[in-house]
Amino acid sequence: MEEYAREPCPFRIIDDCGGAFAMGCIGGGVFQAIKGFRNAPSGISKRMIGSLTAVKIRSPVIAGNFAVWGGMFSTIDCTLVHFRKKEDPWNSIISGFATGGILAARNGIPAMAGSAIIGGVLLALIEGVGILFTRLSAEQFKNPAPPIEDPAVLGEAAQPFSFGQTSQHPSQYQ
């Protein structure tokens, strides 16, 4: 998704929340389907039922967790945009760090710190990969280097230039 295709800031929160929920719902559904299939008792129909039950029970919860992460992240991002008056990778990194910390707030300080660091590093990685891709794709559209206009390439001027006397030196006539 390109930068210009995103919503402006306050509405971006809803958009990001929805995107995260959809991602969690579909991704979590696939993941839980496999997990439920493996963990169910043997017999193909039992495995199918186990898979379906796991998807029904777990994937909305995973989706909800994703949505909370996305919404919180986007809220902090927009707050930072508002106060810093610019949008740059630091916003994302800081809000990833803060989101990780806030969402683990009820698990104690050490868990908060670990979660915050994980969030910050994850977002830094994502932003770094984004910048890298931008650099790489910008490389393709670079203009070709202009031809060098250096008179030295033409070599030493052997004789003074004049019309009609290209082959003969004027000193021959004297």
Partner 1 sequence: MSEEYLSQPLSLGSSSSDDKTRPNRSSGLSSATSTFATPISPYLNYDPRYLQQAQPEFIFPEGANKQRGRFELAFSQIGSSVMVGAGIGGLAGFYNGLQTTSALKQTGNLRRTQLLNHIMKQGSGTANTLGTLAVMYSAFGVLLQNVRGEDDDINTLIAGTATGLLYKSTAGLRKCAIGGGVGLGITAAYCLFQLMRTNSNGSGVKFL
Measured between its terminal Cα atoms, the distance across the chain in Å is 81
Considering only the stretches 20-28, 40-48, 82-90, 124-132, report the one whose residues sit in contact with partner 1 under the rule CB under 8 A. 20-28
Output the smallest distance, CB 17 to partner 1, in A: 4
| Rounded-to-integer distance, Cα 36 and Cα 131, Å | 38
Contact between 48 and partner 1 by CB under 8 A: the answer reads no
Nearer to partner 1, 51 or 115 (CB): 51
Contact between 18 and partner 1 by CB under 8 A: the answer reads yes
Nearer to partner 1, 9 or 22 (CB): 22
Output the smallest distance, CB 129 to partner 1, in A: 22
In Å, how far from its chain's centre is CA 27? 19
Contact between 46 and partner 1 by CB under 8 A: the answer reads no
Nearer to partner 1, 16 or 120 (CB): 16
Looking at residues 50 to 89 of the shown chain, list those that interact with partner 1 (rule: CB under 8 A).
52, 56, 59-61, 63-64, 67, 71
Contact between 17 and partner 1 by CB under 8 A: the answer reads yes
Nearer to partner 1, 66 or 120 (CB): 66
Contact between 11 and partner 1 by CB under 8 A: the answer reads yes
CB contact set of 41 (below 8 Å; sequence gap of 6+): 47, 50
Residue 39: both structure tokens together: 């963990």
Residue 24: both structure tokens together: 């969690």
- For binding to partner 1 (CB under 8 A), which residues are involved? 7, 11, 13-19, 21-22, 25-26, 52, 56, 59-61, 63-64, 67, 71
